[in-house]
Chains A and B, each alone.
Chain A
Amino acid sequence: MISISNLSYYYDRKLILKNINLQIPKGVVTALIGANGAGKSTLLSLIARLISCQQGRITVDDLEVGSCPTSELATRLSILPQVPEVTTRLSVAELVAFGRYPYNRGRKSPEDETIIANAVELFELQDVRRRSLDTLSGGQRQRALLAMIFAQDTDYLLLDEPLNNLDIAGSRKLMTLVRTLAAEHGKTIVIVLHDINYACAYADWIVTMVDGETGPIGEPNKLVTRELIENVFNTDADVHSVGGRPLVAV
């Protein structure tokens, strides 16, 4: 379980996160949703120690973020940043192999090779495994990055807007893979999503954020209503129920 207590964050003297208290349950897909600038990415970056904590406490199981060895945390929690700045000359196989770095420090064992091969297969990258990243489509690149953190074999995976620049086919494919990770591999996934419909369709649990604070939290079909959309996104959109789950008319 990731637990966050009394977390506040300032940037340029502006309060970005206001006293957040949140428990993220294990083994499920949790979607973080909210308007632009609500602090979703900041929260994710703080959990993943990409930016350092100013006030409050974040723990991942028994490890406290910021005080535990960063190399140990790398075997428990991984993050796919919003705009990964990965060098494009790497081949897919080379990139995925980096996922094993926290365990092997660059010296690959036969076991690592198996894990890497499995990750490549799970994310359907066999055909492009020798291609360099800059020759791939957006969807393939995103899958390659996800395959890398899958090879990292952490209990927790944080994904910061992984659907950016993906078309509907790419997005659905990626979200289906995310569900597989939770359902079949027991991973805990925290994912920042822009499109609330993807959250309703693929997440077990939704955490809303409004102006740096956490808003209502719950299961999609109980949580998402017209009022919620009004409060969180400040827009009036109809919410229908289709096949037992909410669908926001855009």
Chain B
Amino acid sequence: MRVRTLVTLAVLLLVSVTTYMTVGARGNWEFLLSFRGTKLAAIVLIAISVSTSTVLFQTVARNRILTPSIMGFDALYVLMFTLGVFFMGAHSFLTIAPVTQYFVSLLLMVGVALALFGTLLLQAREDIMRMMLTGVILAAFFRSLTSLITRIIDPNEFGYIQVASFARFNQIDADLLSISAVLCGVCLLIAWRIRHRLDVLALGREAAINLGENPRRGVIEVLILVAVLVSVSTAFVGPIAFLGLLVVSIAHRVWPTASHGVLLPVAAAVSIITLVGGQAILERVLHSAVPLIVIVDFLGGILFLYLILMRSHR
């Protein structure tokens, strides 16, 4: 059964990638491959970031309903970005090297995420309802603050923020791709290396202490990874609310396991299939103008409601 799941995932992965790369291709192959290849690389990067950050967050939060997006992580990134533009002005913010720009938002993001979500996770993680409410309120707060700033900001600068605040898969900034790939790569490598520790942290605070792990340190390390991964994907495509929830729930369904050594790659595969396959079908087969993210969020939103209403499993 495991073999069948593995083969199915591999085949779907291959089909979605080849469909995306080849269907409807006309003209110069060299140009086409590099053009589509860049976009594909970006989408794969985002897919893995989203699935991994969701798995990591769910492990330390110890439930399967909350995700970084639902808790307001990506709203926080947009806010940090907006604050950067607000205080430095779009012109100077844009003229500083993208790397610096990136790292300023990133550092702010990691700091604030640790302060807010660190306290929350260390204090209230047994209380899912309190976590969920706090997350919803924080997300709303970040969004209102962002919109307040965008109202008082220069209209030209507003345009720049707007680009950052909406999900998009079609304009991928190639400059950002290499930095993001490196950052993401490092985070994913760390996540993979601590997979056994994650298994232990998932057992709960007391069991983790008993086995010699320090849950507090684990939560902080995981939150840093999540903050970086969310920043990377949000910087690229803007906030995607329910993608993480959707793909990780599917991963749990197709391959129920408590081992992060299995869960992380399976969730990543499901995530890539969903994004690349979905994009391929929409763009190349249906020639639809509907952004993929609208569909993903629609399905994810329904799943979220279903999970809350059922609440049978954590």
Inter-chain contact B196/A106, CB cutoff 8 Å = yes
Of the listed stretches B82-90, B207-215, B298-306, chain A binds: B207-215
A37-57 contact mask (Cβ, 8 Å, vs B): 1 or 0 = 000000000001110000000
Cβ of B173 within 8 Å of any chain A Cβ, yes or no, is no
Residues of B within 8 A of A98 (CB): 199-200, 203, 207, 211
List B187-212 residues whose CB lies under 8 Å from chain A.
195-197, 199-200, 202-207, 209-212
Interface of A is mostly: loop
Inter-chain contact B258/A152, CB cutoff 8 Å = no
Cβ-neighbour of B211 out of A74, A81, A87, A94 (below 8 A) = A74
Inter-chain contact A102/B212, CB cutoff 8 Å = yes
Cβ of B111 within 8 Å of any chain A Cβ, yes or no, is no
Cβ of B159 within 8 Å of any chain A Cβ, yes or no, is no
Cβ of B256 within 8 Å of any chain A Cβ, yes or no, is yes
Give the interface residue-count category, chain B. 20 to 34
Cβ-neighbour of A75 out of B196, B203, B212, B259 (below 8 A) = B212
Q: Looking at B196, B197, B203, B210, which has the most chain A CB atoms within 10 Å of its CB?
A: B210
Inter-chain contact B195/A106, CB cutoff 8 Å = yes
Inter-chain contact A86/B211, CB cutoff 8 Å = no
Cβ-neighbour of B206 out of A70, A85, A107 (below 8 A) = A85
Inter-chain contact B210/A79, CB cutoff 8 Å = yes
Inter-chain contact B210/A78, CB cutoff 8 Å = yes
Cβ-neighbour of A87 out of B196, B203, B210 (below 8 A) = B203
Inter-chain contact B209/A70, CB cutoff 8 Å = yes
Chain A, residue nearest B217 (CB): A70
A80-109 contact mask (Cβ, 8 Å, vs B): 1 or 0 = 010011110110001000110110011100
A165-177 contact mask (Cβ, 8 Å, vs B): 1 or 0 = 0000000000000
Give CA–CA (A149, B203) in the complex, Å.
14
Inter-chain contact A74/B212, CB cutoff 8 Å = yes
Cβ of A113 within 8 Å of any chain B Cβ, yes or no, is no
Inter-chain contact B210/A48, CB cutoff 8 Å = yes
Residues of A within 8 A of B258 (CB): 87, 89-90, 94
Q: Which residues of B contact A (CB under 8 A)?
A: 62, 195-197, 199-200, 202-207, 209-214, 256, 258-259, 314
Q: Which residues of A contact B (CB under 8 A)?
A: 48-50, 69-75, 78-79, 81, 84-87, 89-90, 94, 98-99, 101-102, 105-107, 149, 152
| 15 contacts across the A-B interface (CB closer than 8 A) | A48-B209, A70-B213, A81-B207, A84-B206, A84-B207, A85-B204, A86-B204, A87-B258, A90-B258, A98-B211, A99-B211, A102-B212, A105-B196, A107-B196, A149-B210
